[in-house]
Structure 1
Amino acid sequence: MTTDFQTARESLGARLRELRVEAGMEGKDLAARLGWQSSKVSRLQNGKQTPTRDDLTAWAEAVGQPSVTAELHGLLAGLDMKQQHRSWRRQLAGGHRGRQEIAVRQTETTKLIRGLEVVRVPGLFQTPEYARVLFDSNAEFRGIASTTEAAVDARMRRQEALYDPEKSFRFLVCEAALYHRSCPVDVMAEQLDRLYNLVGQRRIELGILPFGAQLRRTAPHAFWIYDRRLVIVETISEELWLTGDEDIELYERAWDWLSETAEYAAPARRLIGRARASLDLA
C-alpha cells in the first residue's frame, strides 16, 4: 500500500531526476561526479531510498544548481513530517485490525506507557463490548470495511500486557470520560465496573481528573507516551507519531502537570462509583 511518506519520497526523487536531466547528465555520470555507486543515484531518484541533507547538498552542487539546496532540504523536512503524520484514511483502508496489530507490537516493546484520555476509556482498559461499539461507530463514520471482531480480539490480546511483571501503566482519565457515553447503558456500566476494579492493581496507576479541579495545565487532547521514545496523538483525520526529544519532553511535562491534580486510589474509586451510580439501568 502506498503511504503518504512514500508518495512524498517519490516526489522528492522526481525533483532530483528533473535536476539531473536539466543538467544534461546521465545517472552514471552524476554518480561518477559524486563518487557514488550508480545504484544509489537510481534509488534516490526513484524514491527507493531516503536521502540525507548532505546527499541533497551534493546533488545540487553536482548538477550546477547550488541555489536549489534550500528547496531540496525543505522537501526533505516535509518528508520527515509525512513520516510523523499518519492519515487514518490510509491506515484504516482495510479496517481497524491492522492498526490494532501495530498497537499490540508497540505495547510488547514498551516497559512504561503513560497516557491521557479525555472523553473515552483507554483501549488497554476497555471491555470487549465497549471496544466493539467504538470500532463499529468509527467504521460507520469513516465508511470503511468492518473488521470489528478481529480488531476487538487484537485489543484484548494487547491487554495481556497488563499482567506482565516487567511493564507499568500510568494513565490519567478525565472525569468526563466516565459520563461521555457512546454505548448502551449496560455496556457503560460494565466498563465502569472494570475501571473501578483496576484502581490499585499492581503496575497500574489510574488517576481521575475531577470536574471542577484547578489544573496547572489543561487537557486539550488525548496522548500516549511509550517509554521515552514515542508519543502518539490522535486527531480526527490522522495520528501524529512524535519521536523528537523536545516533543517527548513537552508531553512528559504536560502529563506530570496534569497528574498533580488527579485523584488516585480510594478517591478515584469514589469518582468512578459516582458515575456508575448515575446510570439508569431500570
Structure 2
Amino acid sequence: MSTDYQQARESLGARLRELRLTRPAGKLTGPQLASALGWPHSKIYKLEGGKQTATREDLRAWTEAIGQPDAFAELAARLAGFETQIRSWRRQLASGHRPVQQHWNAEIDRTTVIHAWEESVVPGMIQNADYARHVFTRYANLHGSPRDIEEAVRARAQRQEWLFQAGRRFHVLIWEAALRSLICPPPVLAAQLDRLAGIIGVDTVELGIVPFTASVKIAPANGFWILDDRLVVTEDWHAELWLDDASNIALYTKVWRTLRESAVYGADAHNVIYAARRALGSHR
C-alpha cells in the first residue's frame, strides 16, 4: 500500500476519532459507539487507526450515530479523494465484473493513444471470447466475486471496437511468458495465439513481443496501461492503481520505452508467437 494512501487513511481515521470525541451531546467511548452501531469494538479502532478503510456506508452510519449527519459529505469527499488512486478489487467487483469492464470502456472511449505492457496475460483489448472467459473465471474464483462471466466477456468485446476506429493507436508490448501461460486449456490458447498473430498488420495496432531470449534493461514485470498522457492504470492482486500525476506518468512512460528496446516486431514477432503455438502440441 502506498505511503500517500496510508497517510490519507490515517488522516480520515483521526477525523473520525475527533468527531467521536467532540460529539455535541458528549463524547462517546469506542465501545459505546460500537454498541450503538452494532459493530465489533475492534472495528472502531481499526478505522480510527487507519488499519481499515471505511466504506461510504460506514461513514454515513458513523455520522448518524454521533448525531452529526452533516459531517458525512466532508468524510465522503476525503474517502473519494484517496480511493481514486487505489481501487480495491473487493469493492470494484462487489457488483460483478461487467461494471468494471463498462467503466474501462468509458475511459478507453475518451482515449486516442494507448501504450500498454503485459507480462503474463494477453491484453484484454486483443483477447478472443474463449480466452477472456477463462481469465474472468480465474479472477472470479480468486476474489469470490459474482460470476457474471458472459456479461463481462461481451463488455470486453465491445471495447475492442476501439481498435478499428480511425485516429486511434494501440502500442502494446507483451512478454513471451504471456504467450505460454496456460491460464486456459491449450486449444483455447492456440486460438488466442492465432488471433494475436492476425493483429500484426492492423494499422491502428503496433504489437511488440519481448522474447525470453532478449536482453532486458529492466525486469519485465507489472503490467500497466498509459492512456494518452493523462492516466496510468496498473494493478496488483488486491487493487488497481489509477495514477494521474505527471511524475508517475513520466516514470511509466520511461519504463515502457525501456521495455520497447527489447521487443521484436513484424516477422520476428510472428516467429515468437508461432514458436509458442507449436509448443502447445505437447499439451494436447
Q: TM-score, normalised by structure 1?
A: 0.76
Distance 2:10 2:258 in 1: 37
**Is it true that 1:230 corresponds to 2:231 in the alignment?**
yes
SS at match of 2:170: strand
The equivalent of 1:135 in structure 2 is: 136
State the one-letter code of the partner of 1:145: P
SS at match of 2:218: coil
SS at match of 1:46: helix
Distance 1:137 1:218 in 2: 25
Give the greater-gyration-radius structure (CA).
1
Unaligned runs of 5+ in 1: 25-41, 52-75
Distance 1:242 1:251 in 2: 10
Q: Deviations over 1:185-226 (max 9, x none)?
A: 110010000000101210100000011211122222100111
SS at match of 1:205: strand
Aligned 8 A contact 2:12 2:75 in 1 = no
Deviates more, 1:259-268 or 1:217-226: 217-226
Q: Deviations over 1:41-90 (max 9, x none)?
A: x8973234777xxxxxxxxxxxxxxxxxxxxxxxx6x8744331110001
Deviation at 1:95, TM superposition (A): 1.4
Distance 1:234 1:225 in 2: 12
> Aligned pair in 2 of structure 1 residues 10, 137: CA closer, same or farther (>3 Å)?
same
**Is it true that 1:268 corresponds to 2:255 in the alignment?**
no
Aligned 8 A contact 1:12 1:45 in 2 = no
Aligned 8 A contact 1:8 1:82 in 2 = no
> Aligned pair in 2 of structure 1 residues 16, 256: CA closer, same or farther (>3 Å)?
same
**Is it true that 1:47 corresponds to 2:73 in the alignment?**
yes
Distance 1:117 1:252 in 2: 14
Structure 1 segment 122-161 matched on structure 2, within 5 A: 122-161=123-162
Identity of aligned residues (%): 37
Q: TM-score, normalised by structure 2?
A: 0.75
The equivalent of 1:278 in structure 2 is: 279
Distance 2:21 2:243 in 1: 32
Distance 2:277 2:125 in 1: 20
Aligned 8 A contact 2:190 2:277 in 1 = yes
Structure 1 segment 236-251 matched on structure 2, within 5 A: 236-251=237-252
**Alignment RMSD:** 2.8
Distance 2:107 2:147 in 1: 23
Structure 1 segment 50-199 matched on structure 2, within 5 A: 80-199=81-200
Distance 1:269 1:188 in 2: 15
Query: Matched residue pairs, number?
Result: 236
Deviation at 1:166, TM superposition (A): 1.9
Deviation at 1:145, TM superposition (A): 1.3
Deviates more, 1:78-87 or 1:261-270: 78-87
SS at match of 1:208: strand
